[in-house]
Amino acid sequence: MISVRGLTKDFGRVRAVDDLTFDVAPGTVTGFLGPNGAGKSTTMRMLLGLDRPTSGTATVGGRRYAEHAAPLREVGALLDASAVHPGRTGRTHLRIAARTNGIPLARVDEVLDRVGLTGAAGRRVKGYSLGMRQRLGIAAALLGDPPVLLFDEPVNGLDLEGVRWIRSLFRECAAEGRTVLVSSHLMSEVQLVADRVVIIGRGRLVADAAVGEVVGAAGRRVRVRSPRADALARLLAERGEVTSAGPDELDVVGLTEAEVGTAAHEHGLPVHHLAEVAGSLEAAYWSLTEGEVEFRGEDAAAPEQEVAG
């Protein structure tokens, strides 16, 4: 169990984390989300004892990280895949970690096999790709067979096979009863693998709920395209909420696909496209954090997903 209570961290006059409280339960994958500068990495560093809180607590299994007699057996973490001596081989890196933490050396080959690096274990890390370094970092996190795992942007550098593999790994770890916290900016990946999400903005808690609850809050609407969109909009506005979604396209809230299609047919209005647009974690995240973004580029529309009717 990860437990964060009233966690606050100030860097001079900048408050990076602001009175943050949440739990991450065993047997679940929890996505830890937020814009750049939201305080995700700082929170994870405080959980690992790398930064000291200004106030509040961040504990694993009821203890601060430094209070565990064998921390690597309690918490495994990947925060920076590049934080490895480039002149060492992958196997040597893990053997050193095993020796310094009282972990049997046989465990090194077990985790190398689990992350798919057995064939590259004798190569120096400086020759590894980013994806291979990510796998090595995950192997190090798994080395002590810990009940709690923390990963910061673990998908970076992975190819498609690697992304599919890491999804499976997270679900396997949760099925084994482990507590898994994953920080990521890839909402589609989090939606596929996570049970819950904790969303923060400017260091404050924005949402802490099951993925289904957050996605459901984004709502559903009907997307319809017609060469007579203006007339169709006037007709549908009498029954629901209608907004323009582009040239000849409308978004309709409050009516089903069938109701929109029937209304158009009854009034002789042609329809060239009709589909329900489902809510997504990305759309929900966009809505929840819109006012919490510190670094913003040009405006862009949030992605959406159409569901065949």
133 Cα distance to chain centroid:
20
- Report the interhelical angle of 160-175 vs 130-142 (nearest 10°): 10
Could you tell me which residues come within 8 angstroms of residue 290 by beta carbon, excluding any fewer than 6 positions away?
A: none
Q: Single out the residue in 190, 213, 236 at which a domain terminates.
A: 213
pLDDT at 277: 80
Domain count, the chain: 2
Is there a single domain that holds both residue 47 and residue 142? Answer: yes
Residue 292: inside a domain: no
309 residues of the chain, pLDDT tens digit each: 999 999 999 999 999 999 999 999 999 999 999 988 899 999 999 999 999 999 999 999 999 999 998 899 999 999 988 889 999 999 999 999 999 999 999 999 999 999 999 999 999 999 999 999 999 999 999 999 999 999 999 988 888 999 999 999 999 999 999 999 999 888 888 999 999 999 999 999 999 999 988 887 766 789 999 999 999 999 999 988 898 988 999 989 889 999 999 999 999 999 999 998 877 788 788 878 876 555 455 554 445 555 444
Residue 307: inside a domain: no
Is there a single domain that holds both residue 224 and residue 188? Answer: no
Q: How far apart (Å, rounded) are the C-alpha atoms in residues 138 and 166?
A: 9
What's this model's pTM, rounded to 2 decimal places? 0.79
Could you tell me which residues come within 8 angstroms of residue 184 by beta carbon, excluding any fewer than 6 positions away?
A: 31, 32, 33, 153, 154, 155, 190
Residue 126: inside a domain: yes
Is there a single domain that holds both residue 84 and residue 201? Answer: yes
- Report the interhelical angle of 106-115 vs 130-142 (nearest 10°): 130
- Of 38, 64, 37, 67, whose CA–CA distance to 53 is shortest? 64
Is there a single domain that holds both residue 121 and residue 268? Answer: no
Residue 202: inside a domain: yes
Q: How far apart (Å, rounded) are the C-alpha atoms in residues 261 and 275?
A: 10
Sign of the Cα torsion 201, 203, 208, 210 reads positive
Is there a single domain that holds both residue 201 and residue 260? Answer: no
**Cα radius of gyration (the chain):** 24
Residue 283 three-state SS = helix
Is there a single domain that holds both residue 184 and residue 250? Answer: no
Q: Single out the residue in 168, 191, 213 at which a domain terminates.
A: 213
Is there a single domain that holds both residue 56 and residue 179? Answer: yes
Count Cβ atoms below 10 Å from residue 202 Cβ, excluding itself. Answer: 19
Residue 296: inside a domain: no
Tokens of 41: 């990495």
Count Cβ atoms below 10 Å from residue 114 Cβ, excluding itself. Answer: 16
Residue 293: inside a domain: no
Is there a single domain that holds both residue 162 and residue 108? Answer: yes
- Name the residue type at position 162: G
Is there a single domain that holds both residue 100 and residue 18? Answer: yes
Residue 288: inside a domain: no
Tokens of 32: 């830890």
Give me the CATH number covering residue 235: 3.30.70
Could you tell me which residues come within 8 angstroms of residue 34 by beta carbon, excluding any fewer than 6 positions away?
A: 40, 199, 200, 201, 206, 289, 292
20 and 53 in contact (C-beta within 8 Å)?
Answer: no
Residue 283: inside a domain: no
Is there a single domain that holds both residue 143 and residue 261? Answer: no
Is there a single domain that holds both residue 203 and residue 254? Answer: no
Instruction: Spell out the alpha helix ranges (H) of 75-105.
Output: 90-100
What order do you get walking across the sheet with 75-78 strand by strand?
A: 75-78, 148-152, 179-183, 28-33, 196-201, 204-210
Q: Which residue segment(s) compose the domain that 251 sits in?
A: 220-278
Is there a single domain that holds both residue 190 and residue 245? Answer: no
Give me the CATH number covering residue 22: 3.40.50.300
Report how far apart the first and last C-alpha atoms of the chain are (Å, whole number).
41
